[in-house]
C-alpha cells in the first residue's frame, strides 16, 4: 500500500460509506456539493487512481453466477482499467448523428441522485438534463428547429471534444418519401407513420448520445465477465468503483488502527509518531511485539 496512513484514515472517516460523491469529497477535500457536481467520468477516474494508490495491482470482485448461484471470485487488474481525465464541471461535448450535431454533458452524481421512477423514466429524465437537444423533436418544422437552436447550448462553446457515433441510420428520409406519394385517403395513416418514424429517430439520437457519453466517460462504463466452473454460464456485472474503493479503504483503515493500538500500548507512541515510521519499520516493531 503506497497511500499515506493519515490519508487512508481521513478518507475512511470522512466518507463513512460507499457513496461515490462522499468518497470523492473525502479524498479531495472539496465539499460534498462540489463533489456531486463533478461528472461521473472524472469522478470514477479519480476513484480508480485512489484505488490504485491504496491497493496496488489487482483486486477481487465477488459475483453470483446467473446460472446456478455459485459464488465467483473475479480478479480485476487495476492497471488495465481506463481512467478518464479530470474535467471542470460544466464541460460540454458534441456527437454527430446523421449530419446533425447534438451537444451533451456527462451526468453528475447530483443528476443520478435525483432520478426516480422506472428505468425508462429515469433514462428520459437523465437525457433531458444532459442533452437539451433531446427535449425537442428530432425532425419538425423550421420554427421548431429554430427553437431548438435557441435553447440548446452553442456547440462552439463546448470543450472541443467531439464524439462521432457511427452506424446511425437516416432519421426520416423514408417516411418523408412515402408521404409525398401518398393520396388524401391515406393522410391519417401516414400521419401516424410519420410520428412513429420521428419517435424512432428520437430513440436513435438518444442511443447515439448515450454511446458517446460512455466513450467520453470510459471510467464509468466498466464491466467484468466470468465463466462459472460449475455450470458453464457466463455472468456479466458492472464494476462499481466506489464499492471496490470503500471495501479496500475500510480494510486498510481498520488494519492501521489496530497497528496504532498495538504500538501505542507497547511503546507509548502517538498516532502521528507511528505514521511517521515507514511501513517496513512499523511491521518490524509489530513483529518484535509478537
Residue 174 lies in a domain: yes
**80 and 23 part of one domain:** yes
Range of the domain at 232: 5-84+221-259
Integer angstrom CA distances of residue 214 from 41, 82, 106, 127: 9, 12, 9, 13
Number of structural domains found in the chain: 2
Each residue of 171-194: pLDDT tens digit? 323 333 333 333 343 333 344 444
Which residues have C-beta within 8 Å of that of residue 91, sequence separation ≥ 6? 39, 105, 106, 158, 159, 161
Both 111 and 146 in one domain: the answer is yes
pLDDT at 198: 46
Backbone angles phi, psi at 73, to 5 degrees: -105, 120
30 and 115, same domain (yes or no): no
Residue 283 belongs to a domain: no
Residues 211 and 151 in one domain: yes
Residue 27, helix vs strand vs coil: helix
Instruction: Provide the 10 A C-beta neighbour count for residue 247.
Output: 17
Shared-domain flag, residues 178 and 242: no
Which of 216, 245, 274 terminates a domain? The answer is 216
13 in the same domain as 34: yes
Same domain, 109 and 200: yes
From 191, 216, 241, give the residue that closes a domain: 216
DSSP string, 51-113: HHHHH-SEEEEEEE-TTT--EEEEEEEGGGS--PPP--TT--EEEEETTEEEEE---BHHHHH
Q: Are residues 113 and 205 in the same domain?
A: yes
Distance, first Cα to last Cα, the chain:
22
- Check whether residue 73 and residue 100 sit in a common domain: no
Helices (H) and strands (E) in the chain, counts: 12, 7
Same-domain check for residues 140 and 243: no
Tell which of 161, 189, 216 closes a domain.
216
pLDDT score at 154: 41
57, 138: one domain: no
pLDDT recorded at residue 189: 38
Q: Are residues 35 and 103 in the same domain?
A: no
- The answer to the question of residue 279 being in a domain is no
User: Within a domain: residue 44?
Assistant: yes
Query: How do the pLDDT tens digits run along the chain, 290 residues long?
Result: 467 898 899 889 888 788 999 999 998 889 999 999 999 999 999 999 999 988 888 888 888 999 999 999 988 888 888 888 899 888 999 998 888 899 999 999 999 999 988 988 998 899 999 998 775 443 333 333 333 333 344 433 333 333 333 332 333 233 333 333 333 433 333 444 444 444 455 788 888 898 999 888 877 768 889 999 999 999 998 888 999 999 999 999 999 999 999 999 999 999 999 999 999 999 999 999 98
Amino acid at each position: 500500500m503506497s497511500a499515506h496512513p493519515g490519508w487512508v484514515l481521513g478518507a475512511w472517516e470522512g466518507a463513512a460509506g460507499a457513496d461515490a460523491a462522499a468518497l470523492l469529497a473525502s479524498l479531495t477535500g472539496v465539499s460534498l456539493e462540489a463533489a456531486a457536481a463533478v461528472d461521473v467520468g472524472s469522478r470514477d477516474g479519480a476513484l480508480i487512481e485512489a484505488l490504485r494508490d491504496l491497493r496496488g495491482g489487482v483486486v477481487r470482485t465477488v459475483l453470483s453466477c446467473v446460472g446456478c448461484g455459485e459464488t465467483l471470485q473475479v480478479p480485476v487488474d487495476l492497471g488495465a482499467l481506463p481512467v478518464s481525465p479530470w474535467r471542470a464541471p460544466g464541460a460540454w461535448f458534441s456527437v454527430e448523428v446523421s449530419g446533425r450535431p447534438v451537444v451533451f454533458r456527462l451526468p453528475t452524481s447530483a443528476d443520478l441522485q435525483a432520478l426516480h421512477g422506472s428505468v425508462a423514466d429515469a433514462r428520459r429524465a437523465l437525457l433531458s438534463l444532459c442533452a437539451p437537444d433531446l427535449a425537442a423533436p428530432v425532425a419538425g418544422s423550421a420554427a421548431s428547429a429554430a427553437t431548438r437552436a435557441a435553447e440548446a447550448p452553442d456547440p462552439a462553446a463546448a470543450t472541443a471534444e467531439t464524439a462521432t457515433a457511427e452506424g446511425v441510420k437516416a432519421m426520416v428520409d423514408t417516411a418523408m418519401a412515402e408521404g409525398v406519394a401518398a393520396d388524401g385517403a391515406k393522410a391519417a395513416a401516414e400521419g401516424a407513420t410519420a410520428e412513429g418514424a420521428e419517435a424512432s429517430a428520437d430513440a436513435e439520437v438518444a442511443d447515439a448520445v448515450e454511446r458517446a457519453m460512455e466513450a467520453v466517460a470510459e471510467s464509468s462504463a466498466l464491466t467484468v465477465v466470468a465463466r462459472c466452473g460449475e455450470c458453464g454460464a457466463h455472468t456479466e456485472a458492472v464494476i462499481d468503483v466506489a464499492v471496490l474503493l470503500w471495501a479496500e479503504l475500510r480494510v486498510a483503515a481498520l488494519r492501521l488502527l489496530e497497528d496504532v493500538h498495538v504500538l501505542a500500548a507497547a511503546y507509548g507512541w502517538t498516532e502521528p509518531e507511528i505514521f511517521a515510521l515507514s511501513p517496513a519499520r512499523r511491521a518490524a516493531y509489530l513483529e518484535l511485539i509478537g
